[in-house]
C-alpha cells in the first residue's frame, strides 16, 4: 500500500508532467488528483482494518519500515480527519518512548491542525508559492518553531523550505 502511495505521488514531479503545456498539465493534474483520492480512500479502509486489533505498528514489534509505511498512509488520509486524529492520539506516547518516529508524529500533528484550520506547530505543511518556491502554512509561535522542530529531530525550517522548493513547478 505504501509503495503504491509513493509511486503515484512521484508523478507530480515527473519530467513528463513538467514538460506539458499549462493546459495539458492542469488536465493531467486533475486526473492524477482523482487517482490519488481513490488510492487514499482504499488505503485508509485497509489500514483501519489492519489497525483494528492493535494500537499501532510499533518499531519494537514490527520494525521502523512498518511504522513509516503506516504513518505515510495516515498522513495521506485527509478525507478522514477523525481517523488521523485518532492515530495522532495513539502516536503521541509512542513518539515519546521511541516506538514511532517523533518526526512523523510532528508531520501528522501539523497535518491534522491544517486540516482543522488551526495553526501548525512544526512548520511541516505548506505549498508551492511559485516555481521553485515552497512556503509553510502559518505556525503557532513562529519564533520557537526551530526549537520545536529540533525536539522531534527535524532540521531548521529554513533548511526544510529550501529543500522543498525544487519540487514546486
What pLDDT was estimated at residue 13? 83
Residue 127: enclosing H or E segment and its boundaries?
strand 126-130
What pLDDT was estimated at residue 51? 98
What pLDDT was estimated at residue 148? 98
- Taking alpha carbons only, the member of 115, 104, 56, 119 closest to residue 80 is 115
Would you give per-residue pLDDT tens digits along the chain (169 residues)? 999 999 999 998 888 988 999 999 999 999 999 999 999 999 999 999 999 999 999 999 999 999 999 999 999 999 999 999 999 999 999 999 999 999 999 999 999 999 999 999 999 999 999 999 999 999 999 999 999 999 999 999 999 999 999 888 7
Domain ranges of the chain: 2-118, 123-169
What pLDDT was estimated at residue 96? 96
What pLDDT was estimated at residue 59? 98
> 135-139: which pairs have CB atoms within 8 A and are 24 or more residues apart?
135/161, 136/160, 136/161, 137/110
pTM: 0.94
Amino acid at each position: 500500500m505504501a509503495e503504491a502511495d509513493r509511486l503515484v505521488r512521484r508523478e507530480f514531479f515527473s519530467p513528463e508532467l513538467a514538460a506539458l503545456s499549462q493546459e495539458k498539465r492542469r488536465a493531467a493534474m486533475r486526473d492524477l488528483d482523482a487517482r490519488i483520492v481513490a488510492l487514499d480512500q482504499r488505503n485508509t479502509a485497509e489500514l483501519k482494518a489492519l489497525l483494528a486489533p492493535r494500537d499501532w505498528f510499533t518499531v519494537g514489534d514490527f520494525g521502523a519500515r512498518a511504522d513509516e509505511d503506516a504513518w505515510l498512509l495516515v498522513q495521506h488520509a485527509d478525507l478522514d480527519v477523525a481517523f488521523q486524529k485518532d492515530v495522532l492520539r495513539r502516536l503521541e506516547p509512542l513518539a515519546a518512548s521511541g516506538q514511532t518516529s517523533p518526526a512523523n508524529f510532528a508531520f501528522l500533528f501539523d497535518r491534522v491542525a491544517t486540516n482543522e484550520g488551526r495553526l501548525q506547530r512544526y512548520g511541516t505543511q505548506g505549498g508551492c508559492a511559485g516555481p521553485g518556491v515552497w512556503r509553510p502554512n502559518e505556525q503557532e509561535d513562529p519564533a520557537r518553531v526551530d526549537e520545536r522542530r529540533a525536539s522531534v529531530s527535524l532540521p531548521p525550517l529554513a533548511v526544510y523550505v529550501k529543500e522543498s522548493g525544487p519540487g514546486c513547478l
